[in-house]
């Protein structure tokens, strides 16, 4: 048994089904041991995809997602995805290789100070210095990732702790009878090897499962009283409420029973799949200005709420959050509750009856309907290429119950959020508050693995698609079906729109109208192209059929540049 076997045994105990990697000599024992124990090893084309996939696994399954990367550049390539997971509060485990313990700081291949690099983006970062500590330290970092405010963790595993002891001794030049080094050097190296492997099979403590947070009876009673006294209450639900997929159905039932007008964001958009819930999509800002009581369930007052200024300054606010910092961010709530926001709403439901607020509901319904009518009107406007609103209106008709939507892009994806209706409670995946481009390929892979019988639709801006293109090779190799719809306006339109108006120069915002569908075909997928409205229905039908046949599909749609989201840049 070697260090890689010890790592694999802990992952197996935590019901890890897949690890995601780009191979490297520093980590080979982990890969082979995982395969031997029954954990599938999936090799991607960039380490950032490995971490994005692990992120999606955590969000959709509730089990921790695991990425295994080699030393040096293998780790540096993950930093964006680690920061995205940190901002989205997703538990992810990154296992990284490292130079041999005796060679650190001596110019070894890909040697660097990994811990200093990841300290600002990892909830916990540790390094192993003896084989006997591998399992206990791995348990510790997994526990940290899933406890309190979840987040990514990093564990460094030097190469001489992963390979079998005889191999390490040979690397160190300690073969029997060898006289290739001075006696004092041989003595030091023998001492170091003995230190590395001493008590390597020592039993290790199994840590308890992460603590679950629940609101107190007093907190629930106070919020219930505030709701009953309110004339215009609002409930805002964010991604944090969806961290445990097992709570999704109960959470949806609670929203229905509470009957408080609700707006959702991030992963919580999946609740739009339930058409009988009191969830509104449009005119949120105006509703917040009129509300007299607002519950923020896993939603901080950051730029998305204009740092709290979108909310009526006279309104009572209840902020429910796992993070005390986020709970009090930019606006001190009337009542702050540090707890799991999903559990809070589930328990609050047991404490309340339907409050009615008939007039308030009717007002919001009317505004929502008016906005939908305006969007439908805009979708019919004549444009040189496909109008994005028209495309999404027709795409909606091709979505089926259980389908999953992956969002990766700027203007095109944000436009989609006004139109597309998710078809399952966990059926909307976007990067989260960090606004990262490039999550698409990893999220597609994670979505299919956790929901193999669902059709995965990915909505890509053409700019964002450049990050994920080569992973269609991965999809083809592993038989990962997807329908990727690419909005190709040959530019970074969200940035160009304001840049050109304010600064009179499109520099840096222009792209070519690339034949992405042909590139996907060359990588082993199926490609389609749309440049006229009368093609949309037929192509989407054929694309979905190809996906159901197990193929990765790209639909390259030549879209018009529109001003639907003019002035949307956030600060």
- Topology of domain 217-356 in CATH is Rossmann fold (3.40.50)
Question: For residue 435, is pLDDT > 70?
Answer: yes
Separation between Cα atoms, residue 497 and residue 510, nearest integer Å: 11
Question: For residue 265, is pLDDT > 70?
Answer: yes
Q: What percent of the chain has pLDDT over 70?
A: 97
Q: Specify the pLDDT at position 263.
A: 98
Per-residue DSSP letters for 238-249?
A: -GGGGSSGGGHH
- Using one digit for the tens of pLDDT, what is the confidence trace for 454-505? 999 999 999 999 999 999 999 999 999 999 999 999 999 999 999 999 999 9
Separation between Cα atoms, residue 441 and residue 42, nearest integer Å: 13
CB 546 within 8 A of CB 525: no
Residue 319 pairs in a beta bridge with 296, 336
Q: Which CATH architecture fits 3-197?
A: 3-Layer(aba) Sandwich (3.40)
Mean pLDDT of 255-262: 96
Strands (E), 276-411: 293-297, 316-321, 335-338, 404-408
Mean pLDDT of 277-285: 96
pTM to 2 decimals?
Answer: 0.95
- Using one digit for the tens of pLDDT, what is the confidence trace for 3-36? 999 999 999 999 999 999 999 999 999 999 999 9
Q: Which CATH architecture fits 380-558?
A: 3-Layer(aba) Sandwich (3.40)
Name the pLDDT band for 212 (thresholds 50, 70, 90): confident
Q: Specify the pLDDT at position 197.
A: 87
What's the Cα-to-Cα distance from 338 to each of 216, 311, 324, 551, rounded to whole Å?
10, 21, 6, 45
- Using one digit for the tens of pLDDT, what is the confidence trace for 319-331? 999 999 999 999 9
Separation between Cα atoms, residue 483 and residue 307, nearest integer Å: 36
What's the Cα-to-Cα distance from 31 to each of 18, 58, 97, 220, rounded to whole Å?
11, 20, 12, 48
The DSSP 8-state label assigned to residue 273 in this structure reads: G
Q: Specify the pLDDT at position 567.
A: 67
CB 27 within 8 A of CB 68: yes
Greatest alpha-carbon pair distance for the chain in Å reads 91
Name the pLDDT band for 177 (thresholds 50, 70, 90): low
Separation between Cα atoms, residue 190 and residue 20, nearest integer Å: 35
> In sequence order, which residues have a C-beta less than 8 Å from that of residue 167 and are 6 or more positions away?
none
- Using one digit for the tens of pLDDT, what is the confidence trace for 516-527? 999 999 999 999
Per-residue DSSP letters for 28-86?
A: HHHHHHHHHHTPEEEE-SSHHHHHHHHHHHHHHHSSPEEEEE-STHHHHTTHHHHHHHH
Mean pLDDT of 226-255: 96
Angle, helix 388-396 to helix 411-419, in steps of 10 degrees: 50
Cβ neighbourhood burial of 571 (10 Å; 0-12, 13-18, 19+): exposed
- Using one digit for the tens of pLDDT, what is the confidence trace for 95-127? 999 999 887 888 888 889 999 999 999 999 999
Domain boundaries, the chain: 3-197, 217-356, 380-558
Name the pLDDT band for 541 (thresholds 50, 70, 90): very high
- Using one digit for the tens of pLDDT, what is the confidence trace for 345-399? 999 988 776 668 999 999 999 999 999 999 999 999 999 999 999 999 999 999 9
Q: Specify the pLDDT at position 436.
A: 96
Mean pLDDT of 265-292: 96
Is the four-CA dihedral 350, 352, 353, 355 of positive or negative sign? negative
Dig out the tokens for 211 from the structure.
């603590």
Which ranges in 408-566 belong to alpha helices (H)? 411-419, 440-450, 462-468, 471-478, 493-503, 516-522, 536-548
Mean pLDDT of 247-260: 96
**Per-chain mean pLDDT for the chain:** 94
Separation between Cα atoms, residue 448 and residue 457, nearest integer Å: 10
CB 372 within 8 A of CB 275: no
Separation between Cα atoms, residue 147 and residue 89, nearest integer Å: 11
Is the four-CA dihedral 512, 53, 433, 460 of positive or negative sign? positive
């Amino acid at each position: 048994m070697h260090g890689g076997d010890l790592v694999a045994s802990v992952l197996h105990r935590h019901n890890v089904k897949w690890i995601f990697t780009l191979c490297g000599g520093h980590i080979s024992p982990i890969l082979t041991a995982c395969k031997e124990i029954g954990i599938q090893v999936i090799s991607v084309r960039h380490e950032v995809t490995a971490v994005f996939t692990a992120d999606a696994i955590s969000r959709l399954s509730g089990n921790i997602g695991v990425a295994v990367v080699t030393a040096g550049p293998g780790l540096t390539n993950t930093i964006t995805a680690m920061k995205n997971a940190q901002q989205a509060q997703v538990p992810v485990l990154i296992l990284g290789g490292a130079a041999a313990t005796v060679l650190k700081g001596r110019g070894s291949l890909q040697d660097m100070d990994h811990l200093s690099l990841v300290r600002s983006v990892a909830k916990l970062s540790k390094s192993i210095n003896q084989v006997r500590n591998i399992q206990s330290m791995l348990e510790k970092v997994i526990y940290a990732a899933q406890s309190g405010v979840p987040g990514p963790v990093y564990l460094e595993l030097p190469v001489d702790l992963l390979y079998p002891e005889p191999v390490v001794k040979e690397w160190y030049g300690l073969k029997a009878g060898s006289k290739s080094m001075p006696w004092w050097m041989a003595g030091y190296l023998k001492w170091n090897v003995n230190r590395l492997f001493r008590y390597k099979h020592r039993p290790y403590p199994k840590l308890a499962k992460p603590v679950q947070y629940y609101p107190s009876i007093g907190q629930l009673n106070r919020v219930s009283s505030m709701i009953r006294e309110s004339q215009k209450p609002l409930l805002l639900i964010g991604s944090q409420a969806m961290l445990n997929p097992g709570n999704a159905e109960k959470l949806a039932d609670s929203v229905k029973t509470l009957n408080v007008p609700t707006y959702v964001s991030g992963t919580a958009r999946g609740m739009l799949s339930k058409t009988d819930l009191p969830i509104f999509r449009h005119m949120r800002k105006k509703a917040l200005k009129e509300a007299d009581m607002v519950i923020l369930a896993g939603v901080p007052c950051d730029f998305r709420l204009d740092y709290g200024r979108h909310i009526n300054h006279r309104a009572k606010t209840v902020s429910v959050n796992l993070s005390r910092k986020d709970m009090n961010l930019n606006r001190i709530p009337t009542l702050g509750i540090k707890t799991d926001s999903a559990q809070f709403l589930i328990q609050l439901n047991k404490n309340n009856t339907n409050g009615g607020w008939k007039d308030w509901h009717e007002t919001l319904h009317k505004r929502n309907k008016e906005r939908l009518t305006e969007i439908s009107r805009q979708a019919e406007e004549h444009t040189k290429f496909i109008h994005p609103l028209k495309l999404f209106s027709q795409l909606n008709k091709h979505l089926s119950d259980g389908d999953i939507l992956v969002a990766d892009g700027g203007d095109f994806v944000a436009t989609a959020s006004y139109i597309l209706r998710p078809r399952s409670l966990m059926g909307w995946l976007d990067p989260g508050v960090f606004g990262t481009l490039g999550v698409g390929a990893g999220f597609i892979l994670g979505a299919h693995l956790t929901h193999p019988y669902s059709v995965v639709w990915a909505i890509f801006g053409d700019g964002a698609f450049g990050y994920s293109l080569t992973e269609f090779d991965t999809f083809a190799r592993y038989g990962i079906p997807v329908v990727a719809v690419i909005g190709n306006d040959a530019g970074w339109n969200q940035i160009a729109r304001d840049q050109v108006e304010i600064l009179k120069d499109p520099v840096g915002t222009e792209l070519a109208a690339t034949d992405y569908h042909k590139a996907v075909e060359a990588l082993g997928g199926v490609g389609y192209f749309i440049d006229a409205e009368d093609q949309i229905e037929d192509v989407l039908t054929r694309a979905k059929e190809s996906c159901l046949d197990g193929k990765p599909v790209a639909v390259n749609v030549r879209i018009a540049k529109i001003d639907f989201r003019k002035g949307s840049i956030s600060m």
